[in-house]
Amino acid sequence: MTAEDLQEVWGDLVGIPADPPAMRELCEKCRRPKAVCWCCHLPSTPLVTKCRVVILQHPAEEKRCLRTVPMLSLGLAPGLCHVYKGKKFPLQRHKGLEELMCAPNSVLLYPSPQSVDLSDLPRLDSGGYDSYNLFLLDGTWPQAKAIYHSSPLLHSMKEVKLLSTGNSEYVIRTQPTEGCLSTLETAALALSILEDREDVREILLKPLKALCDFQLDHGAVTHQSKEFLIKTKTYPKLIGKRLSRLLKGVDTNSDDSIEHDTCLYNEETQKS
């Protein structure tokens, strides 16, 4: 290690706060840092729909930086959005889920060969059901597939798909948050079709639209861009590559170690 390297390492060490940074002030409702809270974009009165949404969420989904299911559950009136967590469903701890899955008016949004267009379901109040329970799998596509294959009861449900996905502008603009964004968008679109109300979709997407606009205003290409996280104070302290390698016992002159900065106090390590 050269004297220059050593000086840089010391510089990095001096820059580390002795104590972990103070907890960022979190919004009590959405539990996001106040700087990036979207609660003011929620409807002033939660939306009352005839249909219910049931989210079967892969455990990894909850840990994501940007989750959109809270936007859905806070946007809808209490009792209209149920979230169950697991890798297969139903488990004993999923109270009331089995009954919901077996209800004749429950439908699973899943693009299987036997799924029918959601728009072809009998309209509400037209001699058919007066509400639907709309089931969605929340996770990346491989996670959703894994949930589906390990949950035989799901296979006995009526499966539906969305043929007209409409404007998916927000999903594209906030890549690569594949999966979690589409859960809100999918639910909002499906509900607006089932309820025959376009305003349902507009209202539910407002927090997501606000979040996307905020990110774009801050020059963020993805929600995990370091610059964005630093600006929004969700990325407290980065350590340099050299120090990071030194701490890991990697030769600081070798270039074959991973070429990215290490986050010293990232969200995951704070939790554990």
Residues that bind Zn ion (CB under 5 A): 27, 29-30, 37, 39
| CB closer to Zn ion out of 70 and 90 | 70
Sequence-ordered alpha helix ranges (H) in 93-140: 97-102
In angstroms, give the least distance from the CB of 67 to Zn ion: 12
| 3-state DSSP of 156-211 | CCEEEECCCCCCCHHHHHCCCCCCHHHHHHHHHHHHHHHHCCHHHHHHHHHHHHHH
In angstroms, give the least distance from the CB of 59 to Zn ion: 23
Residue with smallest beta-carbon separation from Zn ion: 27
Q: Angle at Cα 173 formed by Cα 65 and Cα 264, nearest 5°?
A: 30
Strands ordered across the beta sheet of 158-161: 81-85, 52-57, 133-138, 106-109, 158-161, 116-117
In angstroms, give the least distance from the CB of 39 to Zn ion: 3
In angstroms, give the least distance from the CB of 272 to Zn ion: 24
| CB closer to Zn ion out of 83 and 103 | 83
Please name the amino acid found at residue 182: S
In angstroms, give the least distance from the CB of 37 to Zn ion: 3
Residue 122 CB neighbours (<10 A): 11
Taking alpha carbons only, the member of 27, 68, 12, 58 closest to residue 234 is 27
Residue 263 CB neighbours (<10 A): 17
| CB closer to Zn ion out of 27 and 83 | 27
| CB closer to Zn ion out of 27 and 66 | 27
| CB closer to Zn ion out of 30 and 194 | 30
